[in-house]
């Protein structure tokens, strides 16, 4: 199993002042090739799931199949424009008041829960908070700027499974996953938890994820 700190995050240097989805997808491909070149089974969540979809479209040869969890495609929702404005204003106010690291803490507490955040290993928590300037300065706009077209998604020549947390029903994360599954013509798979099950209920999450990674779906 391979996990990594993406460009600009935690222990990986940015090397520049901004990044793109294309660059992030190419980074993932380069890592897969560097570590053996075999077709991978790819899991990605939240913004990472957006990068994984870009990787699937840009480099379908990189993986045998993809499993994506709750990519936050706000723009596909009927109320997406309003939600986007609210998010932008909330982030702006928080950055003005708390700075990027304080805003990152609020963001993590909102998505994983305060109890889960407080249980994080201190060194990990410190790294995550230190990602605030890069996330709000470059990545947030990157994640909100791309909406794949349904024709583009239907052209994919690699299988993709779409996951959403049962506790997120009605929340925009779940609704965006519903849209993606419908656009791909696949069944939405509900799993345990909400937007960060790998932090809140890791054992249950792993038990549900592992079979999906071990055996890819049939694809024609």
In a domain, 192, yes or no: yes
Residue 82: CATH number of its domain: 3.40.50.1820
Among 129-133, 187-191, 214-218, which is the least confidently predicted range?
214-218
Reduce the secondary structure of 113-158 to three states and give it as a string.
Answer: CHHHHHHCCHHHHHHHHHCHHHHHHHHHHHHHCCCCCHHHHHCCCC
How many domains is the chain partitioned into structurally? Answer: 1
Domain span including residue 129: 21-210
Does the structure show a pLDDT above 90 at 216?
A: no
Q: Please report which confidence band the pLDDT of residue 149 belongs to, taking 50, 70 and 90 as the band edges.
A: very high
In a domain, 220, yes or no: no
In a domain, 137, yes or no: yes
Does the structure show a pLDDT above 70 at 219?
A: no
Average pLDDT estimate for 121-135: 97
In a domain, 55, yes or no: yes
**162-174: pLDDT as tens digits:** 999 999 999 999 9
Average pLDDT estimate for 101-121: 95
In a domain, 4, yes or no: no
In a domain, 5, yes or no: no
**27-54: pLDDT as tens digits:** 999 999 999 877 899 999 999 999 999 9
In a domain, 13, yes or no: no
In a domain, 1, yes or no: no
Encode 111-122: b = buried (16+ Cβ within 10 Å), e = exposed.
bbbeeebeebee
Q: Pick from 160, 172, 191, 161: which is nearest to 80 by CA?
A: 172
């Amino acid at each position: 199993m391979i996990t990594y700190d993406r460009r600009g995050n935690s222990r990986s240097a940015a090397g520049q002042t901004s990044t793109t989805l294309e660059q992030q997808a190419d980074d993932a491909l380069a890592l897969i090739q560097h570590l053996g070149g075999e077709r991978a089974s790819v899991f990605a969540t939240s913004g990472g799931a957006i990068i994984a979809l870009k990787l699937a479209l840009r480099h379908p040869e990189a993986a045998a199949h993809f499993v994506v969890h709750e990519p936050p495609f706000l723009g596909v929702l009927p109320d997406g424009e309003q939600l986007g404005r609210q998010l932008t204003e909330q982030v702006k106010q928080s950055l003005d008041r708390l700075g990027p690291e304080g805003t990152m803490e609020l963001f993590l507490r909102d998505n994983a829960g305060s109890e889960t955040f407080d249980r994080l290993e201190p060194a990990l928590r410190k790294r995550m908070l230190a990602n605030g300037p890069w996330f709000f300065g470059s990545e947030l706009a990157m994640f909100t700027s791309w909406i794949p077209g349904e024709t583009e998604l239907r052209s994919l020549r690699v299988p993709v499974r779409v996951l959403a947390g049962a506790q997120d029903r009605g929340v925009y994360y779940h609704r965006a996953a519903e849209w993606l599954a419908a656009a791909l013509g696949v069944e939405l798979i509900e799993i345990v938890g909400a937007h960060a099950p790998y932090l809140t209920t890791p054992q249950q999450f792993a038990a549900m994820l592992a079979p999906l990674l071990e055996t890819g779906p049939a694809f024609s």
